[in-house]
Copies of this chain bind each other. A is one copy, B any other.
Amino acid sequence: MEKRGTAPDKIDRLEPKVRRGLIVIITGNGKGKTTSALGMALRVCGHDLRVGIIQFMKGDLYAGEWDGVKKMSCDIELFATGKGFCGIQGNPYPWVEHRANAQDAIDLARQKIAAKRYDLLILDEINNALKLKLVDLEQVLEILRDKPPLLHLILTGRDAHPQVIDLADTVSEVREIKHAYRKDIEPQPGVDY
């Protein structure tokens, strides 16, 4: 980080007396849920902690974060386990295939958690996957209830389930006020994917 002339002489550091693994949910219909989780990944790297990203229903359409994480010299892994958004226009894969992929992602999450592989694990779009019944409520609740106390779990996607919200420490709803696509502006690399 570069500092300019007027920056403070002294940098304070927060250091929690009690370390806690948080459950954070980023839901809502606006832009910035996966993006927000990716920002936490960047921060985690800054702290020399270990981060995993398991993406549900993503894997068919290139996303900048796939290469972004490769350019980070820290302990970060990303798994795109899916075949795109289930049920949206143009997606050719049947529900059963999306379900099988999402179940693989759940298994992967369980394995990584059991192995204590990460300090922070992002389950990207899992809220959506639950809404679409690609994963079961009980599967998600079990992951949250049984997580190691110091593991941070970040769950993204629209329509977070109320019982999942109940177990979370921090929940943000990202609401769309405006979106460029409504002005027929195409998704732009870096900003939108």
Which residues of A are in contact with B by a Cβ distance under 8 Å? 1-8, 10-14, 16-22, 24-28, 30-32, 34-49, 51, 59-74, 77-84, 93, 97, 100-101, 104, 108, 119-120, 152, 154, 165, 168-180, 183, 185-191, 193
Given A77-B2, A185-B22, decide whether A61 and B178 contact each other with a Cβ distance below 8 A. no
Contact between A65 and B81, CB atoms less than 8 A apart: no
Q: Please measure, in the bound complex, the distance between the C-alpha atom of A169 and the C-alpha atom of B186, giving whole angstroms.
A: 11
* Number of identical protomers: 2
Q: Please, which residues of chain B bring their CB within 8 A of the CB of A171?
A: 176-178
> In the assembled complex, how far is the CB of residue A111 from the closest CB belonging to chain B, in whole angstroms?
12
> In the assembled complex, how far is the CB of residue A76 from the closest CB belonging to chain B, in whole angstroms?
9
Contact between B77 and A188, CB atoms less than 8 A apart: no
Q: Please, which residues of chain B bring their CB within 8 A of the CB of A69?
A: 1, 42, 46
Q: Please, which residues of chain B bring their CB within 8 A of the CB of A67?
A: 1, 45-48
Contact between A193 and B71, CB atoms less than 8 A apart: no
Contact between A43 and B32, CB atoms less than 8 A apart: no
Contact between A74 and B71, CB atoms less than 8 A apart: yes
Given A173-B174, A174-B173, decide whether A62 and B31 contact each other with a Cβ distance below 8 A. no
Q: Please, which residues of chain B bring their CB within 8 A of the CB of A19?
A: 188
Q: Please measure, in the bound complex, the distance between the C-alpha atom of A183 and the C-alpha atom of B12, giving whole angstroms.
A: 24
Contact between B172 and A177, CB atoms less than 8 A apart: yes
Q: Besides A11-B59, A38-B42, 8 other CB < 8 A contacts?
A: A1-B67, A25-B177, A32-B39, A43-B193, A68-B74, A169-B185, A170-B191, A173-B177
Complex partner residue of A191 from B35, B152, B173, B187, CB under 8 angstroms: B152
